[in-house]
Chains A and B, each alone.
Chain A
Amino acid sequence: MSFLSRAPAPLPLAAPAGDGPGNPWFSWQYVQDNAETIVSKLGFHIGITLETVVIALLVAVPLAVLAYWIRPLTGPILALSGVLYTIPSLALLALLAPLLGATNRATVLIALVLYALLLLIRNALTGLTQVPADVKDAASGMGYGRFGRLWHVELPLALPGIVTGLRLATVSTVALVTIGAIIGQGGLGDLIMGGFWNNFYRAEILTGTVLCVGLALVLDLALVGLGRLLTPWSRRRLS
C-alpha cells in the first residue's frame, strides 16, 4: 500500500497557479521565443483555409447551377449537403482518418471542404433564384444561350449571394481548422491544445485563440471588400 494509491482523486500534475505571475494570459516573451512556430502555424492555418474555400467553391457553384437548372435535383442536393453538415466534425475526421491516414493533411482538408459545401451551395442557389425573371427574358431575347446567359447575366447577379456564402464558409472554416489538432494538423489549434497539455500554459492558448479570431475577422473583411469590387453596380445603387 503505497502513499500514492491513497490519493483521493487524480489531480492534474500541475494545477494551474491562480492568476499569479507564473502563468500570465499573455506573454510577449513567449511570442518572441516561439515566433517561428507561431508564424508557421499561422501560415498552415491560412493555407488550409484558403485551399478549403477555393476547392469548396469549385465544387459548390457547379452543384448550385445544377440544382438551379434541374429543379428536381434541388431537394436531394440540399438534403445531402445538409446531412453532411449535421455530422459532427470529430466524427467526420474519425471516419476519414483510417481511410486517408491518421496524420494526413488531406484528411482535415476533405472534412473542411465537406463542411463548407452546404453554406456555399445554399447561398449560391439563393443568389441564382433571386435573378429576376424579366432580366432572364431580356438576356434570352438578346440571343444568349444557356451558358452565355449563366456566365454573363445570372452568375454576376448571383454574386452577392455567393459572396455571403463565401464569408460564412471562410469564418467557420477558420474556426473549424482547430479541430485538426487531434491529429496534429490543426494550425493554430495545435497551439491551443499544445498550451492546454503543456501545464495549462495560458499565454500559448490565448495567442492561438486571438490569432484565430483575428484571422477570421481579417478574411471576412477582405471578402467584404472583394464583394464590393466585384459588384460595383450594387454600390452605385446604394449611393
Chain B
Amino acid sequence: MSYFHDGLIWLNDPLNWTNPGGLFDRLQEHLVITFWAVLIGCVVGLPLGIWLGHRGRGGGTVITVANLTRAIPTLALLTILPLTPIGFGKLPVILALAVFAVPPLLANAYTGLRSVDPETKEAATGMGLSGGQLLRRVELPLAVPYIASGLRTAVVQVVATATLATFVNGGGLGQIITAGFGLGISRGGAQIVAGGIVVVLLALLAEALFAGVERLVTPRPLRSVRRRRAARPATTG
C-alpha cells in the first residue's frame, strides 16, 4: 500500500492545498460547477416532473428519457457543447452536467406525485380543493421525500461527473488527477492517488449530507411507512 501512503503524504503538504491551482482552488471550482449544474437540472426537471405527475401522463416518456441519457457518454457532451455556438468556458461544462442531473430529478418528481394514494386525492377533491390547491396542499407535501431522494441522486451524480470536466480543461478536482497523469506514474503517482482520495471523499460526503437532508424533510410517519415498504420484499422470500 505504499502508493496509498504516497498519496497521503502529498495531501499532508499544505502547499498542495493553498497553491494557485491547488486543492482549495479546484474544490471551489468543483463546487461552483456542481451547484449551477444541479440548479439548472432542478429548474428544468422538477417543474416538468411535477406537471407530468400531476397530470398522470407521460410516464413512458420519462422512463425513455432517463434511459436514453444513460447511453450518452459524458465525454461526448463535454467535448461537443464547446464547439457549438455556446462557446468555450464554464457554461458548456455546466450545461453538459445539468443534462445528467435532469433524469433523476424528473423521474423522482414524477414517481413521487404518482405514488400519492388516489383515495387521498379523491378525498381532497371531495373537500372542494381545485387542481392547483390539490397539487400545492396535498400532492407536493406527500411527494417531498421522493423529490429529496432525486436531489440526492442528482447531486452525487454531478459531483462525480464534474471530475470529468478536466478532460476539456474545465477545472474541478479532476484537474489534480489529470495533472498527475501528465507527470507520469513515477513522478505524479502520489498526486494521482491523492486526487482520487479527495474526489472519493467528496462524493461520499455529498451522499451522506443529502441522505441527511432526505431524512430531515421526510415527516416522521412517512419515514416508518417507507421503511416498512422497503423491507417488505426482503421478508417475503
Contacts and interface: CB of A to CB of B under 8 A. Distances in A.
A and B: partners? yes
B79 A171 contact: no
Interface stretch (B17-25, B119-127, B142-150, B193-201): B193-201
A212 B192 CA distance: 28
Contacts of B70: 168, 171-172, 175, 216
Interface centre among B71, B159, B163 (most CB of A within 10 A): B71
A81 interface: no
B83 interface: yes
B229 to A, nearest CB: 14
A97 B159 contact: no
Contact of B83 (A16, A92, A188, A213): A16
B79 A193 contact: yes
B83 A175 contact: no
A93 B177 CA distance: 10
B236 A133 contact: yes
Interface stretch (A27-35, A48-56, A202-210): A202-210
Interface stretch (B43-51, B52-60, B179-187): B179-187
Contacts of B156: 86
A175 B83 CA distance: 20
Contacts of B168: 196
Contact of A91 (B80, B83, B177, B189): B177
Given A91-B196, A126-B233, A175-B70, A212 B76 contact: yes
Given A129-B234, A202-B83, A206-B80, A175 B71 contact: yes
Given A129-B233, A182-B178, A91 B75 contact: no
Nearest to B172: A90
The B interface, classified by DSSP as helix, strand, loop or mixed, is: helix
A179 B233 contact: no
Interface in A86-135: 86-95, 97-99, 101-102, 126, 128-131, 133
The A interface, classified by DSSP as helix, strand, loop or mixed, is: helix
A115 to B, nearest CB: 11
A163 to B, nearest CB: 14
Contacts of B192: 94, 97-98
Contacts of B166: 90
Contacts of B199: 88, 90-91, 94
B204 interface: yes
A178 B160 contact: no
Contacts of A150: none
Interface residues of A, number: 56
Nearest to A88: B160
A139 interface: no
Contacts of A182: 167, 177-178, 181
A91 B195 contact: yes
Nearest to B192: A94
A91 B200 contact: yes
Interface string B117-156: 0000000000000000000000000000000000000001
Contacts of A92: 196
A70 interface: no
A200 B174 CA distance: 21
A183 B236 contact: no
B83 A94 contact: no
Contacts of A212: 71, 73, 76
Given A130-B233, A175-B73, A90 B83 contact: no
Interface string B69-89: 011111110011011000010
A102 to B, nearest CB: 4
Contacts of B174: 90
Interface string B100-132: 000000000000000000000000000000000
A88 B200 contact: yes
Interface of B: 3, 67, 70-76, 79-80, 82-83, 88, 156, 159-161, 163-164, 166-168, 174, 177-178, 180-181, 184-185, 189, 192-193, 195-197, 199-200, 203-204, 207, 233-234, 236-237
Closest 8 pairs (CB-CB, A-B)? A94-B196, A88-B160, A216-B71, A91-B199, A209-B76, A129-B237, A91-B196, A95-B196
Given A168-B70, A193-B167, 19 more contacts: A83-B204, A88-B199, A90-B164, A90-B174, A91-B203, A98-B3, A102-B184, A128-B237, A129-B234, A129-B236, A131-B237, A174-B73, A176-B73, A193-B75, A196-B79, A200-B83, A209-B80, A213-B73, A216-B70
